[in-house]
Amino acid sequence: MGSVVKKRRKKIRKHKYKKLRSRTRHKRRK
């Protein structure tokens, strides 16, 4: 179970990174 939780955490981190990246891209365009 521990490994499953770690994998889930990694997926969540990737999602957050994608959101942050898109936000910075929008700011740069502005």
Gap between the Cα atoms of 22 and 7, Å rounded = 23
Task: Identify the pLDDT of residue 25.
Answer: 64
Task: Identify the pLDDT of residue 22.
Answer: 64
Gap between the Cα atoms of 12 and 30, Å rounded = 28
Task: Identify the pLDDT of residue 27.
Answer: 63
Query: Over the stretch 1-30, which tens digit does the pLDDT of each residue have?
Result: 566 666 666 666 666 666 666 666 666 665
Gap between the Cα atoms of 22 and 26, Å rounded = 6
> Residue type at 27?
K
Task: Identify the pLDDT of residue 11.
Answer: 66
This prediction's pTM: 0.21
End-to-end Cα, the chain, rounded Å: 44
Task: Identify the pLDDT of residue 26.
Answer: 61
